[in-house]
Amino acid sequence: MKNLVILGAGTGGTIMASRLVGPLRKRGWKITVVDKDDRHYYQPGFLLVPFGIYKAEDLVRRRSSLLPKGVNFVVAEVEEIKPQSKRIKLADGEEISYDLLLIATGTHIRPEETPGVLDGWRKNVFDYYTIDGAQVLADKLKEFREGTLVVHVAEMPIKCNVSPLEFTFLADWYFRKRGVRDNIRLVYVTPISGAFTRPVATRYLGDLQAKKKIEVESFFLTERVDPTAGKVVCYDGREVAFDLLVTVPPNFGAEVIRRSGLGDEMNYVPVDESGFRSEKYADIFVIGDASASDWTKAGSVVHFQSEILDKIILAEIDGRPVELRFDGHANCFIETGFGKAVVIDYNHEIEPLPGKFPLPLVGPMSLLKETRINHWSKLAFEWVYWHWLLRGRSVPFVPALMSMRGKKDVRGKTS
């Protein structure tokens, strides 16, 4: 029996196993999924843990209960991929052979990449990109009543590039709710030009930051962090002082990608023009954050990709030609505090624009606008994630490829 091996049972690995298990069974193939543990966390929930909205136990399910029946799930660290012999080697030395390989090993933070960060780690320098970090930060924020809180992005790309921005909005809401906001300076330090990478959204979200008295330090390329002096230092000489630093450290692909000679300098896997096939090996595909493509690293992107990649893999198995390619479509909710959120929908060609989503005129969500419905939709999305997306289902009315439907083209116009 031929074997599709999927490395990683996170968002991408689980969705792809769910979408392919039926069609592959009919073709006489089996699926083997490997992950280093049996705990699948809903990562977007990490953002809400520091503010006491979620606890770690609310966000976790067993991977084995989320993967479809009929899939062989192996809990083990993947040590090496051996493309020449089409085998993967596990940490205990066991080897599994594959006919096709799908890499879904994601990305993770590397705080040690920024000099000084580890000296203050979890003393006055915190993260929320890991569940442990988010929990410890929750305790720290509870006791933080005055001083400067700096939310810092060390470098791009990071997964969910809007999440640090959301963190600043939520921190503003959290401190106001506790009556201490007037004693706290909030500063957002980013390597990019402002709140977002594209002009219309940067203008809208930058105005929101100004309204909420969040200071922005842009084009900040971090040289080092000095936790003793309490400052972040930029290569151009600028320094930003902090009492509490919440940092998003550099994100890197899995070490196994580097060890196997499959990655670039950040351990991401370069892919062909379809966006999914390893440049080096035709029988290796990649989904999600593990890819070196310049698409946004986000769960929404993984979900849209899965609706294209399943067809490409089935065509490969059937020996049929296929010309499908992904266009980088992404959408994100941006929590802005006080029970409201903004939704953006975009790709490289079409920047986030105002309008209604997913249905033109009807919505019910509004694009580039703070609304309560957007916020409730973000909270409801968690249910959709566990019960719909991970089961391999598509979301009605939300196409995988980018569409201008419901959007108002305000590009080039000043507000």
Rule CB under 6 A: which of 105-124 touch ligand FAD? 105-106
The answer to whether residue 35 forms part of the interface with ligand FAD (CB under 6 A) is yes
Nearer to ligand FAD among residue 150 and residue 233 (C-beta): 150
Contact flag: residue 299 with ligand FAD (CB under 6 A): yes
CA–CA separation, 322 and 325 (whole Å): 9
Options 93-101, 173-181, 235-243, 296-304: segment touching ligand FAD (CB under 6 A): 296-304
If one asks whether residue 47 binds ligand FAD (CB under 6 A), the answer comes out as yes
Q: Does 263 bind ligand FAD (CB under 6 A)?
A: no
Please give the residue whose beta carbon sits closest to ligand FAD in the complex: 10
Distance CA 283, CA 19 (A): 19
Minimum distance from residue 231 beta carbon to ligand FAD (Å):
25
Residues 354-393 that bind ligand FAD (CB under 6 A): none
Dist CA 109 CA 252 (whole Å): 6
Cβ count within 10 A of residue 156: 14
Whether the upstream peptide bond of residue 364 has omega within 30° of 0, thus cis, is: yes
Position 300 contacts ligand FAD (CB under 6 A): yes
Cβ contact 54:26 at 8 Å: no
Q: How many helical (H) and strand (E) elements, i.e. helices and strands, does the chain have?
A: 8, 24
Count residues near ligand FAD (CB under 6 A).
Answer: 35
Interface region with ligand FAD, contact rule CB under 6 A, candidates 22-30, 35-43, 116-124, 315-323:
35-43
Closer residue to ligand FAD in complex, CB, 106/194: 106
Residues contacting 150, CB < 8 A, separation 6+: 187, 188, 189, 232, 240, 242, 244, 245, 246
Could you say whether residue 13 binds ligand FAD (CB under 6 A)?
yes
End-to-end CA distance of the chain: 61
CA distances from 54 to 130, 134, 138, 145, 348 (A): 14, 10, 10, 21, 33
Binding site for ligand FAD (CB under 6 A): 8-13, 34-36, 43-44, 46-47, 77-78, 104-106, 128-129, 159-160, 163, 254, 256, 288-290, 297-300, 302, 332-333
